[in-house]
Structure 1
């Protein structure tokens, strides 16, 4: 299945996974950019930066096979194999970044919005009872089965 065919499949978990890839890039860039602020914003930026590293292992399952990680971390990442669990994770990460507004507006809001969009895609996939389908481009079917 090509990338174009994956997007035409109307499976919201594919949309969520690709939005998750955008979240990885945004969380890394914005977390790093906001690390230069002192105060409470620094805490939110570190959380955003750490989120990007967790999300990369959740969204690109092939990395669990090639990167040396602990068994506890592997078990933690394997929890997020359903649409509902991913929607919950993205919703929580989004809420944390939206909470950064309390210490002042910053570019972390962009990460919060994109995390919320990913949560909505996974939530819609769960509501429509669609199975989680990982993109082949990101190491989905086939490779993901070997991990689990």
Structure 2
């Protein structure tokens, strides 16, 4: 299945996964950009960078096979294989970034919005009872098995 066919499938888990990739890029970029504030916003920047690192392993399953990680970390990441669990973790990560507004309005709001959109896509996929389908481009079905 090509990338265009994946998007035409109307499976919201594909949309959520690609929004997750956008969240990873935004997480690293905005986390680093906002880490230079000299107030409590540094904490939210660090949390965003950590969230982006976790999302890398959740959204790109190929990396779990390539990168040396502990069994405990692998078990944690494997919890997020269903649409509802992914919606939950995106919701928590989004809530943390929305709470950064308490300290100061910053560009971390953009990360909160995109995290919320990705969580909404996964929640919608769960509500529509769509099976989770990982993008083959990101190392979904078939690609990870070819490496082993």
Q: Same fold (TM over 0.5)?
A: yes
Query: Once the two structures are superposed, what CA deviation does each residue of 1:95-115 show, in whole Å capped at 9, x if it has no partner?
Result: 000000000100000000000
Q: Which 4+ runs in 1 deviate beyond 2 A?
A: 143-146
Q: Is the 8 A contact 2:24 2:53 kept in 1?
A: yes
SS of the equivalent of 1:10 reads coil
Q: How far apart in 1 are the matches of 2:47 and 2:126? A: 26
Equivalent in the alignment of 1:75: 75
Query: Once the two structures are superposed, what CA deviation does each residue of 1:23-59 show, in whole Å capped at 9, x if it has no partner?
Result: 0000110001111112210000000011110000000
Q: How far apart in 2 are the matches of 1:105 and 1:98? A: 10
Residue 145 of structure 1: CA displacement? 6.3
Q: How far apart in 2 are the matches of 1:143 and 1:45? A: 33
Q: How far apart in 2 are the matches of 1:79 and 1:145? A: 19
Instruction: Structure 2: state its 5+ residue gaps.
Output: none
Equivalent in the alignment of 1:88: 88
Equivalent in the alignment of 2:2: 2
TM-score, length basis structure 1? 0.96
Instruction: Structure 1: state its 5+ residue gaps.
Output: none
Residue 144 of structure 1: CA displacement? 5.0
SS of the equivalent of 1:36 reads coil
Aligned pairs (5 A) from 1:1-148 = 1-143=1-143
Residue 3 of structure 1: CA displacement? 0.2
Q: Is the 8 A contact 1:61 1:143 kept in 2?
A: no
SS of the equivalent of 1:39 reads coil
Residue 130 of structure 1: CA displacement? 0.3
Give the aligned length: 147
Q: How far apart in 1 are the matches of 2:121 and 2:145? A: 22
